[in-house]
Amino acid sequence: MSSELRLGLLSGFGAYLLWGGLPLYFRLLDHIGPVEMLAHRILWGLPTALLFITAARRWKDLRAALTPRRLGYLSISSALIATNWLVYIWAVSAERVTEASLGYFINPLVSVLIGMVFFSETLRRAQWIAIAIAACGVGVLTWELGRLPWVSLVLCFSFATYGAVRKTINVDSRIGFAVETALLFPVALVWLSWFQQTDGGGWLGDGIWLDWLLPLAGPITAVPLILFALAAKRLKLATIGMMQYLTPTLQFLIAVLIFREPFGPVDAVAFGLIWTALAVFTIDSLMGERKARRLARAAPVAE
């Protein structure tokens, strides 16, 4: 195994494991309201992002990203990722991590659906079958809950749409994250300044433990993103595609085994359908990539 491949694998595993373990961090701070936690994630995310850009000497790339067109798209993506973060933080505090994990299991399927709608990408038969099976899983969960699993749906659609917007402008993930947090920073700072003056303000002077945990929201948000960027440059898309299931799997295990969230027979059926859909989707993706490589090797011979 080459050193580059080893670095890619370690970075990928690190990114997805850190993302998967986020519920543990937010549960430590569950006495902090979701909006306040979101504001801190933005507040500490910006200096962390700028620190990484300085270390990588990417200020020139950051300035190049500040065009009106890119700023317009990044404004949309910043609103989408803020929505995603807020709902996820709320789900942890409301003891609905299982439902949140379902959203990230579904996310790859929603991404290909958005690719079809907005980028005219063609879906293969197996992909349609996978989406139909996943829809059945969501239907089973809706029947059990007596309502749509809105946490799952908001998380998967907001993140998949976020990915589509970012794909449109093709900005480096670190640069994009810095600009997005910079756009959100004034709102977060003003809100925190106001909230700290109210009776509900719960940060400064509320204990050393809390004073140190909240600033960690920046590195905890930025570090997985940096690791993912390192992995994406060194690994095949198929490898990244397989590794991405580590995050919702870890979230699911934390929810059921550590947080002791309820998981009954109907939940098992719903998740079983989702996992079946993902198996169909993953096998089809691997076969499609293998076929593409085979055709690429045969092309010079045909000429």
148: helix, strand or coil: coil
209 lies in some domain: yes
Q: Note whether 59 and 239 are within 8 A (CB).
A: no
Query: What is the spatial distance between Cα 97 and Cα 93, in angstroms, rounded to a whole number?
Result: 9
The number of distinct structural domains making up the chain is 1
pTM of the model: 0.87
* Secondary structure of 196-224 in HEC code, one letter for each residue: HCCCCCCCCCCCHHHHHHHHHHHHHHHHH
111 lies in some domain: no
Backbone φ and ψ of 95, nearest 5°: 60, 50
208 lies in some domain: yes
131 lies in some domain: no
pLDDT at 72 over 70: yes
| Mean pLDDT of the region 158-165 | 89
Query: What is the spatial distance between Cα 147 and Cα 49, in angstroms, rounded to a whole number?
Result: 39
Q: Note whether 149 and 138 are within 8 A (CB).
A: yes
pLDDT at 211: 66
pLDDT at 214: 85
Q: Which of 241, 229, 227 is nearest to 281 (CA)?
A: 241
Tens-place pLDDT, residues 103-137 = 988 888 888 888 888 777 787 888 889 889 988 98
Query: What is the spatial distance between Cα 301 and Cα 298, in angstroms, rounded to a whole number?
Result: 5
pLDDT at 213 over 90: no
| Mean pLDDT of the region 194-198 | 82
Q: Which tokens belong to 276?
A: 């079946």
pLDDT category of residue 203 using cuts at 50, 70 and 90? low
pLDDT at 170: 77
Average pLDDT value over all residues in the chain: 86
User: Which region holds residue 69: left if phi is over 0, alpha if psi is between -120 and 50, else beta?
Assistant: alpha
Query: What is the spatial distance between Cα 10 and Cα 16, in angstroms, rounded to a whole number?
Result: 10
pLDDT at 123: 79
Q: Note whether 264 and 41 are within 8 A (CB).
A: no
Query: What is the spatial distance between Cα 137 and Cα 88, in angstroms, rounded to a whole number?
Result: 21
Query: What is the spatial distance between Cα 35 and Cα 188, in angstroms, rounded to a whole number?
Result: 9
Q: Note whether 34 and 191 are within 8 A (CB).
A: no
163 lies in some domain: yes
pLDDT at 157: 92
pLDDT at 46 over 90: yes
pLDDT category of residue 29 using cuts at 50, 70 and 90? confident
Query: What is the spatial distance between Cα 126 and Cα 134, in angstroms, rounded to a whole number?
Result: 12
138 lies in some domain: no
38 lies in some domain: yes
pLDDT at 101: 92
Tens-place pLDDT, residues 233-286 = 787 766 777 788 889 999 999 999 999 999 889 889 988 999 998 888 888 877
Domain that holds residue 242: 3-104+150-263
